[in-house]
Structure 1
């Protein structure tokens, strides 16, 4: 270190020997020192830092603190939980027992794929059934016989059977192709087609409607604080963060809750990796019921009942924990319940 300091002094002296001490001498000397320090950094590495004095001459500025290592969130800022289910074994069949909810929870690309595939398979199957009836009755070989009454007029191959099915399914009315009264099996198939079509329409269209009406993007217009802060309010140490609504439409019956996720060990020696503790944000006073027309500050008083009561300022910055904020309310435009959750990792103490 002594050798490096002597090198710095020699370099600085050599760079500044020919300077005329005018009114701008101090500024010029400062620039020379910065250039010399840059040269030393290139030679000896990043151990050297430019140290300047404050305008009041009170001392040296402290170097910037190192950035904290990014920690894995349990709940992301967009509300998605970083949880993967494993070792399910044969329990995956439970998803099929609640097929409607499973389809609604799928991504849009899979929903559209299942929607198109189901209709395509159903249409081809029913068209094949009409073609089978025409084939068994021999209508395909006597399509141009004017004295013969087929099951379905002017159906003489699979494409014509498919077109007849589309005309029946879409209820656009019969024209060139129509069913006759000489075909009881065709009447039964017609009834089966109507029932099957109604079931498929109700299931798939209902699934798509529920998925489109879900207010998932409503969270994009609800703003939360990037960080939480601890400061004095009304003479009490208080954890605070803010929430605001960007839309003109209100969140009806909005209610907010906070969970503290932290690992702990019980007196019996059991380790709980994700222990959930409730943070009081005004349950007894009704402050958790929000009238979200303007940005609001959510407060948690750190008293003897608070999980943060025994934590110091240093423990706040070093301990592994996460605060999960859950905002639930009814979207005014769609009258649907929306639950929004996000995790806060950084808590800053201002006192």
Structure 2
């Protein structure tokens, strides 16, 4: 690690560290734990000798590498195997004296040098078989080498095909067609302040079963410069979701919630991140997938609700995904859920209540209509 670039890290396992961000004043508070597309901003730095785990699980390693790196590795594996067995055939021909022997006594017909041996190796492994070069019965060692090359060729082809199919059927690709809304909203549902976000499947083959989860991630800086990560699960309604139509995932801001005491004025000062995920099985492939994203306090819109996307047609339901991320204003008290619960039953004779949000502006609500406002349900 360069001495000119100071970085905040979390020690996790011996020499493995999570690189979060270089230390530049207060900028570390703005670092996202997870990108909107689900990528986690954690870089692993391995110490010497820690690369053995990647070779032990070579299949997973090759599935996770980039396409260009995988194609380079497979191309080199074929070329090196052709060169190796070509060298073996050339050595056999050299020891057997094929450079001077008559044609009928050659180990491999029409192989009298390294170029011919390399071409025979490539034709054998790629099953080209031009018919010009071929194995004879004059040399048992060459026959054994050809047999070994054929077996290795089958294994290598199977390995390459398996890796390519696994990369093309990667769960990450399917996860890109199941997405969360760009923002989360806070509004009233049956008189209770709730934090909610949207989840939708953009493909035609709908997901009929999946499990949603939400977790609050906080990172705090310690006096000695280290960073401590804390994780706290959020209770959400209806974890098991049928995603035939877009679904709104709801977390009630009630006692026990880590967001219970936070109000709209407190959000800009917080440094938490709401990590949400949806785990499901693809109906086409049967592969387990997971879509995830995160919301920072800047992504939470207080006093808004998602627009309705679902319409009833003559023969089927219609979903307008153009409105997936669209919101509009809702009447919501501009105070925390804790303070809102305390103010549900105001003192007798009081005619004013805490300000609420109307069309993006704060205003006072008369006590006579407060109860009616508390009972409204926001989508």
TM-score between the two structures when normalised by the length of structure 2: 0.67
Q: Partner residue of 1:196?
A: 152
Q: By percentage of residues, which structure has more strand?
A: 2
In the aligned structure 2, how far is the partner of 1:133 from the partner of 1:306?
76
Match for residue 102 of structure 1 among 37, 61, 70: 61
In the aligned structure 2, how far is the partner of 1:204 from the partner of 1:188?
24
Measured against aligned partners, the alpha-carbon deviations of 1:270-323 in whole angstroms (never above 9, x if no partner) come to x972211101112xxxx1111112111110011112111122332223211100
**Taking structure 1 as reference, are residues 161 and 92 closer, same or farther at Cα in structure 2, changes over 3 Å only?**
closer
Q: Partner residue of 1:275?
A: 230
In the aligned structure 1, how far is the partner of 2:55 from the partner of 2:165?
20
Q: Find out whether 1:166 has 2:122 as its counterpart.
A: yes
TM-score between the two structures when normalised by the length of structure 1: 0.72
Matches within 5 A, 1:146-157: 146=103, 148-157=104-113
**Taking structure 1 as reference, are residues 347 and 174 closer, same or farther at Cα in structure 2, changes over 3 Å only?**
closer
Q: Partner residue of 2:283?
A: 332
Deviation at 1:251, TM superposition (A): 2.4
Q: Find out whether 1:320 has 2:276 as its counterpart.
A: no
Match for residue 92 of structure 1 among 36, 51, 54: 51
Q: Partner residue of 1:246?
A: 202
Secondary structure of 1:123's counterpart equals helix
Deviation at 1:236, TM superposition (A): 1.4
Deviation at 1:89, TM superposition (A): 3.9
- Give 5+ residue unaligned stretches, structure 2: 1-27, 304-331, 333-379
- Give 5+ residue unaligned stretches, structure 1: 1-68
Matches within 5 A, 1:62-77: 71-77=30-36
Answer yes or no: is the 8 Å Cα contact 1:168–1:174 preserved in 2.
Answer: no
**Taking structure 1 as reference, are residues 88 and 327 closer, same or farther at Cα in structure 2, changes over 3 Å only?**
farther
Deviation at 1:106, TM superposition (A): 0.7
Q: By percentage of residues, which structure has more helix?
A: 1
Secondary structure of 2:32's counterpart equals coil
What is the total number of aligned residue pairs between the two structures? Answer: 274
Answer yes or no: is the 8 Å Cα contact 1:78–1:219 preserved in 2.
Answer: no
In the aligned structure 1, how far is the partner of 2:46 from the partner of 2:60?
22
Q: Partner residue of 2:258?
A: 307
Measured against aligned partners, the alpha-carbon deviations of 1:59-91 in whole angstroms (never above 9, x if no partner) come to xxxxxxxxxx99321110111100011353432
Q: Find out whether 1:82 has 2:32 as its counterpart.
A: no
Deviation at 1:162, TM superposition (A): 2.2
In the aligned structure 1, how far is the partner of 2:149 from the partner of 2:262?
69
Answer yes or no: is the 8 Å Cα contact 2:215–2:274 preserved in 1.
Answer: yes
- Cα root mean square deviation, aligned: 2.5
Match for residue 98 of structure 2 among 125, 133, 139: 139
Match for residue 181 of structure 2 among 225, 231, 237: 225
Answer yes or no: is the 8 Å Cα contact 2:210–2:279 preserved in 1.
Answer: yes
Match for residue 348 of structure 1 among 283, 301, 316: 301
Measured against aligned partners, the alpha-carbon deviations of 1:198-235 in whole angstroms (never above 9, x if no partner) come to 22222222222211111322233223222111111022
